[in-house]
Amino acid sequence: MTDYFVRLVRLPIRVEGVTVPNSDGTFSIYINSLLSQEKQNEVLEHELRHIRSEHFYVDMPVEHMERQAGGEALNIVLHPPEGKIALFRSENALLDYLRRLAAQMGVKL
């Protein structure tokens, strides 16, 4: 389970929300306080999908991350940048990554 902290803050109107990884493995989610309650809930779910998809630990174009966090299923194999190794916050995160990678490659674990 990943810990996260949600903060409602006044952001520029075009910025609905943003997530920042913290050095202790938790995340800070900032949501625009100018949005309606319904829209704030949608933005929170979008930001949580970024966390669940481990977008902070993979080399993927931002537009792909946004589409994926928006609910679109993308058939993308996740790889760290060449010469780098992926960083995982826990053994479970690594296991989830390997399962997703295997599923994308059609391999059964």
C-alpha 90/C-alpha 92 separation (Å) is 5
Can you say whether the dihedral through the CA atoms of 67, 70, 73, 76 is positive or negative?
Answer: positive
pLDDT of residue 33: 96
- Torsion-angle region of 75 (φ positive above 0: left; ψ -120 to 50: alpha; else: beta): beta
Q: Encode 19-52: b = buried (16+ Cβ within 10 Å), e = exposed.
A: bebeeeeebebbbbeebeeeebeebbebbbbbbe
Q: What is the pLDDT of residue 107?
A: 67
pLDDT in tens, the chain (109 residues): 679 999 999 998 889 999 988 888 889 999 999 999 999 999 999 999 888 887 777 777 777 778 878 877 765 555 555 665 566 666 776 677 677 766 666 767 6
Give me the pLDDT at residue 2, please: 77
From CA 63, how far away is CA 73, in angstroms rounded? Answer: 13
The predicted pLDDT at position 66 comes to: 82
Residue type, 42: E
pLDDT given at position 6: 96
In this structure, are strands 17-21 and 27-32 parallel, antiparallel, or unpaired?
antiparallel
